[in-house]
């Protein structure tokens, strides 16, 4: 496990963010929040309420991480579930669907998640911002049981 992953995301790190049509408005709020916290945000779309296919946007974020354009990712769709499933098809991705700050924190602390997936139809903007703040301020606990379990997931 790389030492960089064990620490919390750092100010100045690049975060790739994308949403489908259901998450466009929330994406704008989360991007603004992350920029305010000192992160560099790459917006990979969509920017319209017109219907799109969420796997295309999950792939864009996963590819940005795998290609080292970003260290972290945020995906937003109606439930967060579809985006999370699509992103997790990539070996280097550990996307976690979070419904609040605690689930986001635990996804970093125990599971070393590198992508946060949110459901715009399930949580409001303030809960989503709290989840993002918790996700991006929590280090991976590592050591013993957590590191052993994450290693069984494969990937990087």
- Structure-token pair, residue 108: 């970093």
Answer whether residue 44 is part of any domain: yes
- Cα–Cα nearest to 149, from 99, 102, 113, 103: 113
Whether 77 is catalytic: yes
Name the β-bridge partners of 145: none
Dist CA 125 CA 134 (whole Å): 14
Number of domains in the chain: 1
Considering 21, 90, 99, 110, which one is annotated as catalytic? 110
Q: What is the pTM of this model?
A: 0.92
Q: Which domain holds residue 76?
A: 16-143
Annotated active-site residue 110? The verdict is yes
Phi, psi of 17 (to 5 degrees): -130, 140
Domain annotation covers residue 155: no
Rounded to whole angstroms, the Cα distance separating 106 from 116 reads 11
CATH for 124 = 3.40.1400.10
pLDDT in tens, the chain (156 residues): 444 445 678 999 999 999 999 999 999 999 999 999 999 999 999 999 999 999 999 999 999 999 999 999 999 999 999 999 999 999 999 999 999 999 999 999 999 999 999 999 999 999 999 999 999 999 998 777 777 677 677 765
């Amino acid at each position: 496990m790389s030492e960089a992953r064990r620490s919390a995301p750092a100010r100045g790190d690049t975060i790739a963010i994308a949403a489908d049509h259901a998450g466009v408005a929330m994406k704008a709020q989360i991007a603004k929040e992350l920029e305010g916290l000192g992160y560099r945000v790459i917006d990979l779309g969509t920017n319209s309420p017109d219907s799109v296919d969420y796997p295309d946007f999950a792939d864009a974020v996963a590819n940005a991480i795998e290609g080292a354009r970003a260290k972290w990712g945020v995906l937003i769709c109606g439930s967060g579930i579809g985006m999370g499933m699509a992103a997790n098809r990539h070996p280097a991705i550990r996307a976690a669907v979070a419904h609040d700050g605690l689930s986001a924190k635990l996804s970093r602390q125990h599971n070393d998640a590198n992508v946060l997936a949110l459901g715009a139809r399930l949580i409001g903007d303030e809960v989503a911002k709290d989840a993002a703040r918790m996700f991006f301020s929590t280090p991976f606990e590592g050591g013993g049981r957590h590191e052993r379990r994450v290693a069984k997931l494969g990937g990087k």
